[in-house]
Amino acid sequence: MAEGDTILRAKERLSDALVGQSIGVSAPNPRGRAAGIERLDGRTLAGINAHGKHLLFDFGDLVLHSHLGMSGGWHVYGRGERWRRPRTSAWAVLSGERSDAVEFGGPTLRVLPASRVAIDPQLARLGPDILAPELDLDDVVAKFRAADPSRTLGDALLDQRLTAGIGNIFKSEACFAAKVDPWRPLADVSEAELRAVLEAARDQMLRAVTTGDRHRFAVYKHRGPCLRCRGRVLHRGQGDANRTTWWCERCQV
Ligand SMILES: [Zn+2]
Dist. CA 229 → ligand 1 center (Å)? 4
User: Which distant-in-sequence residues (6+ apart) come within 8 Å of 170 by Cβ?
Assistant: 3, 4, 5, 201, 204, 205
Task: Give CA–CA dist 173/245, Å, rounded.
Answer: 9
Domain boundaries, the chain: 4-124, 137-248
Dist. CA 231 → ligand 1 center (Å)? 5
Q: Quick check: helix, strand or coil at residue 168?
A: helix
Dist. CA 88 → ligand 1 center (Å)? 46
Task: Give CA–CA dist 190/225, Å, rounded.
Answer: 27
Reported pTM: 0.92
Q: Quick check: helix, strand or coil at residue 104?
A: strand
Pairing, β 108-113 against β 54-59: unpaired
CATH of 137-248, one of 1.10.10.10, 3.40.605.10, 1.10.8.50, 3.40.640.10: 1.10.8.50
* CA trace torsion 163, 169, 170, 176 (10° rounding): 130
Dist. CA 249 → ligand 1 center (Å)? 7
CATH topology of domain 4-124: N-terminal domain of MutM-like DNA repair proteins (3.20.190)
* pLDDT tens, the chain, 253 aa long: 789 999 999 999 999 999 999 999 999 999 999 999 999 999 999 999 999 999 999 999 999 999 998 889 999 999 999 999 999 999 999 999 999 999 999 899 999 999 999 999 999 999 999 999 999 999 999 999 999 999 999 999 999 999 999 999 999 999 999 999 999 999 999 999 999 999 999 999 999 999 887 778 999 999 999 999 999 999 999 998 999 999 999 999 9
User: Which residues are 110's β-sheet partners?
Assistant: 65
